[in-house]
Amino acid sequence: MTKKPNSKSIIANFGALSSAAPDEPEQATDIQKAPQRTSPRVGAGIIGATQRSLAEIREERDRLLALVESGGAIQEISPDLIEPSPFPDRLEDDDESFEEFKKRFDAEGQKVPVQLRPHPLDDGKYQVIFGHRRWRAARELGRSLKAVVTTLTDSELVIAQGIENSDRQDLTWIERALFAMRMDEQGIKPRDIKAALSIDDAELARLRQVHRSVPIDIIESIGRAPKIGRPRWVSFAQAVQKDSKAVARVRETLSADKVFSSDERFQAALTSALDQTAAESNQTELDLRDAAGAVLAKATFRDRDIRLKLSKDSADAFGEFMQTELPKLVERFHSDGGDS
């Protein structure tokens, strides 16, 4: 293993490989032969957050870039020595999408190194800055990983991730909210969160409103929701805040054994969360009991929806009985003129 570069600049880390940031087997030239890149634009908020001058940032970026292009900074590291970033900024890929990526990675090899930092608490190990899918693919394929190692503080790491994601522009709105949540949980200062996401106070407040109102299990069940932006996520959070029963309804909706896209799951969840008035005004419940008074089932009537929840002890027997008797009930309904 080659000696670790000792650069602490977030922009040095970012600039070295920013042109190949997406986690794909990039259609790029070999990094050692890459043309000289122009210095990335750095916002004033980022400079203020890191307390480095623009000249210092550019100087360190250029120094690491020179190392990478000469091949001196690239290492081969076992994926078993690597852990994910402590600040996840993405929801999981669906299995099909990742398997397609892994096949391409296996066939074409790793064209662009991942970027790591030394683990702050576990000597000899590393954490991913960029390249989580490449790391996962290498781990599952049993391959070593090409990597550039740069020493970063937590604040520098999250700002570096934010710069990279801002450049790629492929984080969905809810993923940005989750990224803000992870930073909040780790005690990252608000100024650094805003710098990482390139946002102002008002947008940070909206991100927090959503991730503090909507339980994380619901967000993860919905997924990335790429077509769902800020207004509908804020509406969803407001609906959850106003109705104490909304979370239970949403969880029930999302637990249904149906295959939907992430955007469709969001829409179903939003409809369920907003269903407070209809649920309370149009819903009737009826306990179905046997001769001894034990509940066989609970029937719920709401608009055009009838649900029958069988008790555990009588589920099989009463279920078979209902299958037999329901057609007779329909015949009786017709004979009594109920459909006239």
User: What average pLDDT does this structure show over 266-293?
Assistant: 77
Say what the pLDDT of residue 339 is: 60
Confidence (pLDDT) at 125: 94
Taking the C-alpha atoms of residue 191 and residue 94, their distance in angstroms, rounded to an integer, is: 33
More confident: 295 or 170: 295
Distance, CA of 178 to CA of 156 (rounded, Å)? 18
What is the band of 3 on the pLDDT scale with cuts at 50, 70, 90?
A: very low
Q: Is the dihedral of CA 198, 172, 219, 203 positive or negative?
A: positive
Task: Say yes or no to pLDDT of 165 above 50.
Answer: yes
Q: Which residues contact 102 (CB under 8 A, 6 or more apart)?
A: 137, 140, 141
297-311 mean pLDDT: 79
- What is the per-residue pLDDT across 260-273, written as a single tens digit (0 to 9) for each? 788 999 999 999 99
- Please say if the pLDDT value at position 6 is more than 60: no
**pLDDT tens for residues 134-157?**
998 999 999 999 998 888 888 777
Domains and CATH numbers, the chain: 10-171 (3.90.1530.10), 284-335 (no CATH)
Residue 51 has pLDDT above 70, yes or no: no
State pLDDT tens for residues 205-260: 999 999 999 999 999 889 888 899 999 999 999 999 988 889 999 998 998 766 57
pLDDT the model gives residue 152: 82
Query: Is the distance from CB of 50 to CB of 194 less than 8 angstroms?
Result: no
The CA-based angle 109-114-118, given to 5 degrees, is 140
Collect all residues with Cβ–Cβ distance below 8 Å to 23 and sequence separation of at least 6.
Answer: 101, 130, 131, 132, 133, 134
Looking at residue 304, its pLDDT comes to 65
Res 240: pLDDT: 92
Reported confidence tier of residue 95, pLDDT bands at 50, 70, 90:
low
pLDDT, position 62: 54
Examine the pLDDT at 83 and tell me if it is beyond 60.
yes
Alpha-carbon gap, residue 220 to 185, rounded angstroms = 17
Q: CA-CA distance, 328 to 21, in Å (whole number)?
A: 64
Write out the two tokens for 187: 């005690």
| Euclidean distance between CA atoms 102 and 285, whole angstroms | 50
* pLDDT at residue 78, rounded to an integer: 94
Distance CA 153, CA 51 (A): 13
95-108 vs 132-141: helix axis angle to the nearest 10? 70
Cβ-proximal residues to 47 (8 Å cutoff; 6+ apart), any chain: 53, 54, 57
The span from the CA of 107 to the CA of 95, in Å, is: 18
Evaluate if residue 57 carries a pLDDT over 70: no
Query: What pLDDT band is residue 313 in, cutting at 50, 70 and 90?
Result: confident
Residue 290, token pair as written in the block: 């046997």
Instruction: Calculate the CA dihedral of residues 245, 247, 252, 256 and round it to 10 degrees.
Output: 150
What confidence score (pLDDT) does residue 228 get? 93
Q: State residue 303's pLDDT score.
A: 61
User: Does pLDDT of 108 surpass 80?
Assistant: yes
pLDDT band at 42 (very low <50, low <70, confident <90, very high): very low
pLDDT at position 280 over 90: no
